[in-house]
Chains A and B, each alone.
Chain A
Amino acid sequence: MCFKNLPIEFDETGKASLKEGVRDPYAVAVAEPKGYVRRNEGPGAQLAAPPRLRDWNIDPMTRVAGALAVHTVLDLENRKAVEAHARAMLFRGYEIILQGRDPRDAIDISSRACGVCGGVHATVSSLCIEQAFGVCPPPLGVEVRNLGEVGEMFYDRPLHLGLLAGPDYSTALVSVTNPELVTRAEKTLAPHGDVHGYRTIKDIMDALNPLTGQIYLEALEWTRVGRIMAMLMLGKYPHPSTLLPGGVMTTISTSSFNEYYTQLGKIFDFAKVICRIWDDICDFFLEANPAYEQVGAREMNIAQVGIWDDSTAYDATYANINHWGKRRWSKPSMIIDGKLVTNNLTDINMGFEEFIEHSFYEDWTRAGGPRYRTDPLGNPISPHHPWNKTTIPKPQATDFRGKYTWDTAPRWDRRTVETGAYGQLWGTALTGDSQENPFFHATGHSLQMVVPRHGLPETELEWKVPRTLNALERNRARAYSMAFTSTIGMNCMLKALEYWRRGETKVHTPFKIPQDERVAVGFWEAGRGWLAHHMVMDKGRIVNYQITTPSTLNAAPRDPFGGLGPYEQAIVDTPILESVPDDQVKGIDVLRAIRSFDPCMPCTTHMDTGKGVIVREVNSCGCTLE
């Protein structure tokens, strides 16, 4: 029984239904926003009362992909952040542009929703459309998709760890905010210096320096290795050119496998090194000051939908979605308060809702009843579910008590959930093994991996579920996901070669476009986790197309019940650990908290992207004055 807030119950056969006697099962009672909100008592006055509160508007928030702004209030008396608003700053209208089109266009158009996660949208759109069309790809087609998407993750991880998050732990920045840590780092030998070659922690921190550090500069080159692997299978990156419903267009040859395999070898070594670099950095900060455990910490609610299909189980149907979903290498998993509550994609789909009380959209539920009350299997769904959603944009002035972002507020069972690369490890580790393989083993509380030899010897790595979900652990797990993904790449490679050996060389199944009404959903994961495309089609045309991305979840604003979004929760109560006077506080810990999510805004608001951070209550100040 995974639902605590939505009135959904299951009978003995596992069939879901709404509890009887609940008059309005999906009622939304809008609560007053909680937390610190400034009062309208005249210009500047609201901040005079608590004299050491600092109102800080970060617009644009940099070293994230896309347009994000964050408003936060720092309490310098108690040295912590006390308020946060995450703002997506861009709207483009992709969901509206997709309406009325031939469904075949959706793959290439929705791909352009995000060029950072440059292949996942095309992939998830293929999954969604093939479900609607009733066409299942041949097994080699599934493996080619897997291999391409393994390559994409090899581009994604070094980009974030090296170029976006890494500089926050570099000598250049830490010497400004915490000079004592640099002194300490100089004297601290790196525990894994034999693996990565940096003698002291200070050497690692030097290598993380933006534009000049070795780790920073090499990260760009590593992204190129990942891109080349993605392109060998998907043609082009970003925006693949070989994906379509029913498989891929890719012309596979002996060369494809040879070239892919030789790149994968390099990745094995990189994975061994990057895990140890981040182990050393994270452990150094946590030992120097245990309070770093609270930077970016929030409740342990993680939503993952799974990625990398088992080509022997995947059949593209919604009817069997729980079966093939659980066979994915990285598991669909809903973790609430640190406990795994379900691996069923139908449960994950059923409990999912999007709210717009604090977003620049109009409420679609007021325009009559929902289009669908259940999914195709009879499971109840909310009027706020994407299949029932209509995107109605309404740009307007920013008001932190009202509407302040182009992002919506997705919730599961009305709880705030986050998602990420780290969630793939988290969910898979808690789920435990489902497929025997020589390269990794999920124990229920950890992931044990054997990364094959290349230039560096075969290496056993173990990632253990941490006790807190915080900024450092997000980054550490993202580094370990390089190793996890490399073992999955090896598994998929062996499977693909097996099909190749058996002469099962087809990569695509032909399809016909159905003319009746169909609903479908594609679930896949981006570099940052959760990705869903929900589609309704009729008469061979798209009626509704809804995209929810990882940063739709993570950058979400408050919900109507007063709950904060994941970035907002992670910022509030983040301690300010800088060892400098108040007037020199840079807010680095808040920035670390946000960047640890690896924000990727282009596709967040269907897409609205925001850049930067904003801190003003435009309405409360402006209205009073006028």
Chain B
Amino acid sequence: MESFKRPQQAIGLIDGYDPLDPFAPIGVRSRATVEPPDSLALGPLKKIYLIWMVGASCDGCTVAVSGGTHPRVEHLLAGIIPGLPRVELVHTVVSTESGAEWTHNLFMAERGELDAPYVITWEGSIMDESISGDGYWMGLGEDPATGRQITSLEWLDRLSPGAAAVIAIGTCATWGGIPASKGNVTNAMGMMDYLGKDYRSSFGVPVVNIPGCAPIGDNYLETAAAVCLFLNGLAPLPEFDELGRPAWLFGETVHRHCPRAGYYEEGVFAEEYGDKECLVELGCWGPVVQCNIAERGQVDGHGGCMQMGGICIGCTMPGFPDKFSPIGAIAPGSLISSTTSRAVGGFIRRMRGISRVDKNMTPRWDKDIPTGWSRAKTGPRGSMKTVHKFYSKYQHTHEGHN
């Protein structure tokens, strides 16, 4: 191939272009953004490159992060959050430059020519290019010297040793996800499967995993922000669990914070879709799945799965999707747990009901409830009245014991 002079070079499209020229041949370079004045020095890290790469992805993680609000991605790009570095994003969906000018960023990163550290965020499964023959499963750019097609996996090989951190985002990049499930033709796998347990970034960090399909945008943004605050000496190193997940985000089952969990506790289950009660008997896996969507919501506190009526299908878990299939079928273990909950919770619910009737009364409603909304009830009568009397007495004997 030596004698082959690339047509572009022959004609001069690429020749003579200055990679540092803010106006590269095709469009404006992302880094043409004006550097904001930063008078308060809050740590050494002023700028960081975020090189966002994809394998077998659907771009859903990109979309999820762009919807995040804590912090907003446009605020990171503008560098207006005190203590956080300004983020230079190299991403095919948003970069202004195309083609060779875009891949030039990656070559500069590989050669250590960027003026700040770079973090790789990888979206999508790793596909095995050793079985794609003369072709590729995922091509991304070409070698400007030879015109050879480069695969996205080759970029990972070239860039992961020098990266300040490798963050796998989404269930495909973390564990393999759908492309790596039954029927996997591309020998797809997760980032840890590919880089191995001994991988450390240039800053000494193993692969960080932020699962979810799609993940909650804020989970990614918050983790990235927390790591940057640490690097700037402003906050402790965030805690990660044994699978590299942010521990404060994935340490609990989604059931524990589910707004419907109280129904489970009292043994009340939704009978059909659209009902407001616990969804376990309609196929929800929430009690065993590690996820925080129940307290965080999907975008700015809105949405979420069980909040809106959707069953948990386990999309943050390494076993997704095959171990949660068929979706909508009842988890086998739930037969035992929900039967138990019905028996125990059912009893507790009735006890609470008794108390609730009493607490819905003002002292003067003893004989008549002045509501126009229902047939007037007078408070508890007969034996219930006796129960409440004893309950109240018991309550007061415990005054002062907290």
Contacts and interface: CB of A to CB of B under 8 A. Distances in A.
Interface stretch (B71-79, B232-240, B366-374): B71-79
B201 interface: no
Interface stretch (A194-202, A295-303, A379-387, A581-589): A581-589
A591 B300 contact: no
Contacts of A238: 58, 60, 63-64, 214
Interface in B30-66: 30, 32-34, 54, 56-64, 66
Given A93-B185, A609-B138, A252 B274 contact: yes
B308 A232 contact: yes
A251 B214 contact: no
B149 to A, nearest CB: 7
Contact of A231 (B69, B78, B125, B302): B302
B133 A108 contact: no
Given A231-B299, A613-B99, A249 B309 contact: yes
Interface stretch (A27-35, A347-355, A390-398, A431-439): A390-398
A607 B7 CA distance: 32
Interface stretch (B157-165, B175-183, B347-355, B393-401): B175-183
B120 interface: no
Interface in A588-626: 588, 591, 602-603, 607, 609-616, 618, 621-622, 625
A589 to B, nearest CB: 12
B63 A395 contact: no
B110 to A, nearest CB: 17
A224 B300 contact: yes
Contacts of A101: 182, 325-326
B305 A109 contact: no
B247 interface: no
A168 B133 CA distance: 37
A115 to B, nearest CB: 2
Contact of B133 (A99, A242, A395): A395
Given A69-B139, A241-B311, A587-B26, A616 B147 contact: yes
A217 B3 contact: no
* B27, B33, B67, most chain A CB atoms within 10 A: B27
B73 to A, nearest CB: 7
Given A55-B7, A231-B303, A612-B98, A104 B93 contact: no
A59 interface: yes
Contacts of B28: 167, 172-173, 176, 210
A584 B213 CA distance: 43
Interface in B167-214: 177-179, 181-186, 188, 213-214
B183 A97 contact: yes
B308 A173 contact: no
Contact of B140 (A510, A591, A611): A611
A605 to B, nearest CB: 10
Given A104-B327, A232-B303, A614-B142, A92 B56 contact: yes
Interface string B259-279: 000000000000011111001
B5 interface: yes
A430 interface: no
Given A69-B139, A115-B58, A249 B302 contact: no
A296 B216 CA distance: 37
Interface residues of B, number: 106
A297 B59 CA distance: 29
A8 interface: no
A78 B8 CA distance: 18
Contacts of A370: none
B336 interface: no
Interface stretch (B10-18, B219-227, B338-346, B383-391): B10-18
B60 A115 contact: yes
A115 B63 contact: yes
Contacts of B305: 235-236, 241-242
Nearest to B89: A211
A248 B274 contact: yes
A168 to B, nearest CB: 8
A602 B13 CA distance: 29
Interface stretch (A13-21, A60-68, A180-188): A60-68
B321 interface: yes
B230 interface: no
A522 interface: no
Contacts of B181: 97, 109
Interface string B299-332: 1101111011111010100000100011111000
A586 B213 CA distance: 38
B310 A100 contact: no
Contact of A89 (B4, B140, B329): B140
A247 B273 contact: yes
Contact of B328 (A66, A115, A244): A244
A91 B140 contact: no
Given A104-B326, A231-B303, A238-B64, A54 B11 contact: yes
B183 A100 contact: yes
Interface of A: 43-44, 47-48, 53-67, 69, 87, 89-94, 96-102, 104-105, 107-109, 112-116, 118, 163-164, 167-168, 172-173, 176, 210-212, 217, 220, 223-224, 227-228, 231-242, 244, 247-253, 360, 393-398, 505-508, 510, 583-584, 586-588, 591, 602-603, 607, 609-616, 618, 621-622, 625
12 contacts: A43-B3, A48-B10, A55-B7, A59-B140, A63-B93, A91-B138, A97-B181, A220-B73, A228-B302, A231-B298, A238-B214, A584-B25
Given A397-B135, A607-B58, 6 more contacts: A54-B8, A58-B98, A217-B74, A232-B308, A244-B328, A587-B26
Enumerate the 10 nearest inter-chain pairs by beta-carbon distance, A residue then B residue, closest first.
A115-B60, A231-B303, A241-B310, A395-B135, A102-B326, A55-B7, A251-B309, A397-B134, A235-B308, A97-B183
